[in-house]
Amino acid sequence: MTPTIQGAVKSLGYAAGSLLTVTSLSVEDVAAILAATDRIERMADAERVRLLAGRRIALLFYESSTRTRTSFELAAKSLGAITTLVSDKSSSIEKGESLKDTGLTLRALGAECIILRHANSGAPYLLAKSTGLPVLNAGDGMHEHPSQALLDLRTILVRVPGLNAGRIDEKTLAGVTVVITGDILHSRVARSNAMLLPRLGARVLLCGPKELLPESALGLGAGVEIERDFDKALKQAQVAMMLRIQRERLAGLELDLGDYIARYQLNEERLAACAPGALVMHPGPMIRGLEISGEVADGPNSAIEEQVRHGLSVRTALLVRALSTGGFESVTV
């Protein structure tokens, strides 16, 4: 029997319901999260608001965020929870308080779950270990963004023709090639997707220049390949997932942005020539005119706003899971 996330994470010393990495999710866990997402989404507001009525959730953000922070907060509120936001800009973190002490302070104030975004890879593990609370990784350094991979998966299931969103197993994404293009080196979104989607049968093609896509990216596992020629990659794609060029992390790299745009920008001409039917995704924030043209971002192939909406829904399920000690079975969803 495949162990559940609750069992696996607990055995490592982290609270049940934590989500630190997609690698701790079995395919059954993924199916349970998506099924709960569907059920919660269908609920009447008055029913949904009772699921976590009065529970206390802290959002602890050391890096900027629009989508992840807002969707977790709105998801928590739609479930009846009480939320508080602590950001590095306006808290005692500015005075040098450690992550551990900040977490212990939030716990002393009654927080039952912490959603953490942090610039350091692995920070959510430290917080989960030191507080004993369920921690949801909202993006840690260049490591992972597990809730993003789950919302991306849901978007693909809904939008790519011929997939059976109601049956999640090792073959659900068989025949689907997902091309992830851009700053793979610095992307936690790419890592989480490249580790999750192949386990459901997808083929993941990573695409980008050597500066942003070192050969070591192949260490991500089975089902992941590198294709440096964007046009060749796109011709195989059912899904084109574009990544932001992270200017804030480019220091020291010799990257010619003009050359990058010529070779790797997803624009109307390239999409029409190579992959006219492909689903276009971007986790955001996007830089229009750099990795993607505005026309493609706003065009009929784009699922970018839909991804944001799926983020809100998937995060309701992750919060219910985090705060239900017996898993989804212990709550009526």
Cβ neighbours for 239, distance < 8 A, ≥ 6 positions apart: 156, 160, 176, 177, 178, 179, 278, 279, 281
Q: Which of 10, 67 has the CB closer to ligand CP?
A: 67
Q: Is residue 65 a contact point for ligand CP (CB under 6 A)?
A: yes
Pairing of strands 224-226, 279-281: unpaired
DSSP state of 89: T
Q: How far is the CB of 285 from ligand CP (least distance, A)?
A: 6
Q: How far is the CB of 254 from ligand CP (least distance, A)?
A: 26
Q: Which of 6, 148 has the CB closer to ligand CP?
A: 148
* Out of 39, 67, 270, 309, the residue judged to bind ligand CP by CB under 6 A: 67
What binding mask, one character per residue, do residues 264-303 give for ligand CP by CB under 6 A, x or -? -------------------xxx------------------
Greatest alpha-carbon pair distance for the chain in Å reads: 58
- 93 and 166 in contact (C-beta within 8 Å)? no
Residues in 68-127 that interact with ligand CP by CB under 6 A: 68-69
What binding mask, one character per residue, do residues 197-216 give for ligand CP by CB under 6 A, x or -? --------------------
Return the structure tokens found at 27. Answer: 């395919």
Give the burial string for 260-270 (b: 16+ CB within 10 Å, else e). beeebbbeeeb
Q: Which of 16, 19 has the CB closer to ligand CP?
A: 19
Q: How far is the CB of 189 from ligand CP (least distance, A)?
A: 7
As a whole number of angstroms, the distance between CA 267 and CA 131 comes to 46
Region near ligand CP per CB under 6 A, out of 62-70, 86-94, 153-161, 247-255: 62-70
DSSP state of 171: T
As a whole number of angstroms, the distance between CA 318 and CA 322 comes to 6
Q: Which of 209, 311 has the CB closer to ligand CP?
A: 311
Q: Is residue 146 a contact point for ligand CP (CB under 6 A)?
A: no
Q: Which residues bind ligand CP (CB under 6 A)?
A: 65-69, 139, 145, 148, 283-285
